[in-house]
């Protein structure tokens, strides 16, 4: 992997470095932790926070190597990223947690959820996995090995990054190291079998997403003993940008149904295992 010019520091372990909270929601009954896609940043989820607060307390993960963490070294594997963010996420568990991860963020959210359950935490209220095939469904991909032009072409194909930024050499030089590192992390990830999660899992996909088929999305049901739901939206890999209001409303409706008994941290409510297309 290429290394960013200048002196890089090791990723911070401070809670404030990892977690961004854009709106106050002190009386919310559930907290939604959002994990960005490859090359993405916490601010991607600002609209989610704005819409769901104060009913839901939204926290977004900020990976090292981007925005205000540009001086910190990128983390190049999913297990290392999950281990690094785990303490910050654990500190948020004073109320029921739900996770939302898009693309690489879905895999990372899954691995953090596994670690929480391994350490004895209550199951998540929901695990939302967006735009990503199940961990057990592997594809051989090597985007992280492409030159800069090839990497830019891939980003443009998926429409995940503003084309005007990719056309600016200075902005591109700032963006690509984090993107390449994230692609390396997710493309070299291999699922290690173990205990299934116990939380409800909701898979969300675009019906024209080249990164995940319907069957690959349905396979998320194998990774938890809890309820499963598949929701299909019109669009490609970044369907959630084009249809942001619909996706966020679906989250709002779903999280409003979470019922937590007084004094308990577990989850009640939730549908059975279903396969339903969004309309």
Residue 133 domain boundaries:
15-256
For the chain, give the mean pLDDT. Answer: 86
Any domain includes 21 = yes
| pLDDT of the residue at 258 | 85
Structure-token match 């190291």, residue found:
177
Any domain includes 251 = yes
Taking CA atoms, 176 is separated from 35, 81, 141, 196, in Å, by 19, 18, 18, 35
User: pLDDT band at 164, cuts 50/70/90?
Assistant: low
DSSP letters along 164-208, please? HHHTSHHHHHHHHHHHHHHHHHHHS------PPB-S-EEEEEETT
Any domain includes 244 = yes
Any domain includes 277 = no
Any domain includes 5 = no
- Under a CB-based contact definition with an 8 Å cutoff, are residues 199 and 122 in contact? no
Q: Could you tell me the CATH number of the domain that includes residue 132?
A: 3.40.50.1820
214 vs 3, which has greater pLDDT?
Answer: 214
- Under a CB-based contact definition with an 8 Å cutoff, are residues 233 and 259 in contact? no
Any domain includes 117 = yes
Of residues 41, 49, 103, 224, which has the active-site annotation?
103
| pLDDT of the residue at 148 | 72
| pLDDT of the residue at 264 | 38
| pLDDT of the residue at 272 | 41
| CA distance between the termini of the chain | 42
Q: What's the mean pLDDT in 33-52?
A: 95
**pTM metric for this prediction:** 0.86
Q: Is 103 a catalytic residue?
A: yes
Q: What's the mean pLDDT in 135-151?
A: 79
Q: Sheet harboring 56-61: ordered strands across? A: 19-20, 56-61, 30-35, 97-102, 126-130, 201-206, 228-233
What residues pair up with 128 in beta bridges, in sequence order? 100, 202
Rounded distance between C-alpha atoms, residue 226 and residue 110, angstroms: 14
Sign of CA dihedral 53, 217, 175, 181: positive
Any domain includes 205 = yes
Rounded distance between C-alpha atoms, residue 222 and residue 228, angstroms: 9
- Under a CB-based contact definition with an 8 Å cutoff, are residues 3 and 64 in contact? no
| pLDDT of the residue at 267 | 34
Rounded distance between C-alpha atoms, residue 62 and residue 19, angstroms: 6
* Cα Dmax for the chain: 55
**Model confidence at 48: pLDDT above 80:** yes
**Model confidence at 185: pLDDT above 80:** yes
User: pLDDT band at 82, cuts 50/70/90?
Assistant: very high
Based on the structure, what is the number of domains in the chain?
A: 1
User: pLDDT band at 69, cuts 50/70/90?
Assistant: very high
Any domain includes 42 = yes
Q: Is 237 a catalytic residue?
A: yes
Residues 213-259 have pLDDT tens digits of 999 999 999 999 999 999 999 999 999 999 999 999 999 999 998 86
| pLDDT of the residue at 173 | 73
DSSP letters along 202-268, please? EEEEETT-TT--HHHHHGGGGGBSS-EEEEEESSSTTHHHHTHHHHHHHHHHHHHT-B--TT--S-B
| pLDDT of the residue at 168 | 65
**Model confidence at 154: pLDDT above 70:** yes
- Under a CB-based contact definition with an 8 Å cutoff, are residues 181 and 106 in contact? no
């Amino acid at each position: 992997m290429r290394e960013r010019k200048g002196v890089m520091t090791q990723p911070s372990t401070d809670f404030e470095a990892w977690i961004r909270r854009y709106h106050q929601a002190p009386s919310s009954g559930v907290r939604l932790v959002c994990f960005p896609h490859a090359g993405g940043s916490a601010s991607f989820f600002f609209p989610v926070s704005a819409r769901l607060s104060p009913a839901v307390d939204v926290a977004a993960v900020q990976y090292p190597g981007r925005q205000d963490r540009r001086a910190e070294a990128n983390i190049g594997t999913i297990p290392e990223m999950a281990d690094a963010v785990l303490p910050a996420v654990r500190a948020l568990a004073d109320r029921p947690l739900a996770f939302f991860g898009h693309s690489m963020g879905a895999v990372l959210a899954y691995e953090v959820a596994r670690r929480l359950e391994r350490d004895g935490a209550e199951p998540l209220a929901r695990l939302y996995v967006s735009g990503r095939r199940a961990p057990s469904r592997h594809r051989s991909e090597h985007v992280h090995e492409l030159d800069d032009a090839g990497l830019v072409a891939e980003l443009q194909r998926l429409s995940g990054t503003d084309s005007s930024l990719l056309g600016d050499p200075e902005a591109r030089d700032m963006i690509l190291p984090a993107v390449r590192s994230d692609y390396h992390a997710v493309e070299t990830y291999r699922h290690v079998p173990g205990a299934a999660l116990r939380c409800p899992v909701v898979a969300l996909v675009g019906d024209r997403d080249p990164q995940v088929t319907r069957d690959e999305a349905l396979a998320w049901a194998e990774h938890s003993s809890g309820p499963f739901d598949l929701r299909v939206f019109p669009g490609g890999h970044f369907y959630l940008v084009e249809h942001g209001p619909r996706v966020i409303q679906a989250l709002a409706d779903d999280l409003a149904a979470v019922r937590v008994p007084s004094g308990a941290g577990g989850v009640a409510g939730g549908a059975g295992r279903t396969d339903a297309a969004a309309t």
